[in-house]
């Protein structure tokens, strides 16, 4: 791991633990094992580190979870839809970087407008729009009953977001929460899918 990567790794850990304002550049440098001024060889300052972290997390999320612009392959069956959805949820809940960035965003969303927008996009609006496209495409294929795909996507995503937040707060319940999420998604499919 390069020094720049270590700076980002340690900064994310500290931001998630202490918040953005509670983390200083010298603190980050100390965790990396360098002097504060050496950090400036890699980043202009703490805000530059934050921007790099957000950019990295956004790219990782796009690659492994998807987005409204990148919905991936449209499932052809109920089981494929459930598997795709559970894979995305597992990534969200278990990826160490995404988990820490989400914890950080939840804390900082009330202090920073950009972080508030990112939090809303990742916890509701982006997921809702992506699933609205997926559900609409599956409706067009005759797999879902005809209904409002945006409302169905909201109905699908909202309880899952709450369960993921609970898993972040109470990690000891993660396996139970994953089972609850899958049970809910199966119920959702039983209600709205034709097969």
Q: Delimit the domains of the chain by residue range.
A: 1-52, 65-192
Distances, alpha carbon 98 to alpha carbons 5, 22, 86, 91, in Å: 16, 20, 16, 8
Per CATH, 1-52 and 65-192 having the same topology is answered no
66 vs 11: CA distance, rounded Å: 25
What is the pTM (predicted TM-score) of this model?
0.88
The one-digit pLDDT tens for each residue of the chain (195 residues) are 899 999 999 999 999 889 899 999 999 999 999 998 899 999 999 999 999 999 999 999 899 999 999 999 999 999 999 999 999 999 999 999 899 898 899 889 998 888 899 888 888 899 999 999 999 999 999 999 999 999 999 999 999 999 999 999 999 999 999 999 999 999 999 999 986
CATH placement of domain 65-192: 1.10.357
Domain covering 1-52: architecture:
Orthogonal Bundle (1.10)
Strands (E), the chain: none
């Amino acid at each position: 791991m390069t020094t720049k990567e270590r700076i980002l790794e340690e900064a994310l850990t500290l931001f998630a633990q202490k918040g953005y304002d509670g983390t200083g550049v010298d603190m980050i440098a100390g965790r990396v094992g360098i002097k504060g001024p050496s950090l400036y060889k890699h980043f202009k300052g703490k805000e530059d580190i934050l921007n790099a972290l957000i950019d990295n997390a956004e790219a990782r999320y796009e690659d492994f979870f998807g987005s409204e612009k990148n919905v991936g392959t449209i499932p052809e069956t109920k089981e494929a839809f459930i598997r795709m959805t559970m894979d995305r949820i597992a990534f969200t809940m278990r990826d160490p970087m995404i988990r820490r960035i989400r914890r950080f965003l939840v804390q900082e969303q009330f202090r920073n407008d950009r972080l508030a927008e990112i939090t809303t996009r990742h916890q509701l609006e982006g997921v809702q729009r992506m699933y609205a496209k997926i559900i609409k495409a599956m409706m067009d294929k005759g797999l879902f009953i005809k209904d409002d795909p945006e409302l169905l996507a909201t109905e699908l995503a909202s309880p899952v977001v709450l369960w993921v937040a609970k898993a972040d707060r109470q990690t000891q319940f993660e396996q139970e929460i994953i089972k609850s999420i899958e049970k809910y998604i199966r119920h959702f499919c039983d209600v709205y899918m034709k097969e």
